[in-house]
């Protein structure tokens, strides 16, 4: 594995690849139907392959003009520490740089313990002046 070449391919991960990487990095329960729709609505996606198998991924969601969110940057644990995550993030940021016509807001949520990785790209914790927040909404049930 250490010397196997990798290739970055500009395409969305398949649902199977997405699930494999999602579960490998411990992101919790996978919802295939919702994930497929989400992947289809991405602005830009890429998959890192080694010997034809997905070993990493990353994507961008947003409005395609002013607001961009980096999502699903994941690398199989056995491939971590080989600068694959850096290559993914560099390519995602290059896409945004080449797409936006002016200043753009680029956001992300870093998994716990991964904050320093993203700080190397210029992402900053803006608290207490600004706080990243999110709400998880469950599907409404009929009464």
| 108 vs 50 pLDDT, higher one | 50
- Say whether pLDDT at 20 is over 70: yes
* pLDDT tens, position by position, 45-104: 999 999 999 999 999 999 999 999 999 999 999 999 999 999 999 999 999 999 988 899
Choices 3.30.360.10, 3.40.630.30, 3.40.50.2300, 3.40.190.10: CATH for 7-119: 3.40.630.30
Report the phi/psi class of residue 31: left, alpha or beta, with left for phi > 0 and alpha for psi in -120 to 50.
Answer: beta
Edge-to-edge strand list for the sheet holding 7-9: 7-9, 44-50, 53-62, 67-75, 105-107
Confidence of residue 10 (pLDDT cuts 50, 70, 90): very high
- Say whether pLDDT at 4 is over 90: no
Q: What is the mean pLDDT of residues 11-25?
A: 97
| pLDDT at residue number 88 | 98
Cβ burial, residue 100 (10 Å; 0-12/13-18/19+): middle
Can 95 be counted among the known catalytic residues? Answer: no
| pLDDT at residue number 143 | 58
Please name the residue that has the structure tokens 């995602």. Answer: 92
Say which of 44, 79, 95, 118 is annotated catalytic: 118
């Amino acid at each position: 594995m250490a010397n196997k070449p990798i290739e970055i391919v500009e395409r969305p991960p398949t649902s199977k690849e997405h699930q494999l990487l999602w579960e490998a990095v411990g992101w919790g329960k996978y919802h295939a139907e919702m994930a497929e729709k989400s992947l289809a609505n991405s602005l830009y996606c890429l998959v890192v392959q080694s010997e034809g198998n997905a070993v990493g991924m990353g994507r961008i969601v947003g409005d395609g003009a002013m607001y961009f969110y980096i999502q699903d940057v994941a690398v199989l644990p056995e491939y971590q520490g080989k600068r694959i995550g850096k290559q993914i993030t560099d390519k995602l940021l290059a896409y945004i740089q080449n797409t936006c016509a002016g200043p753009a807001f680029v956001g992300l949520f870093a998994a716990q313990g991964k904050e320093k990785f993203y700080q190397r790209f210029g992402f900053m914790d803006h608290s207490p002046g600004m706080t990243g927040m999110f709400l998880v909404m469950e599907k409404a049930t009929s009464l």
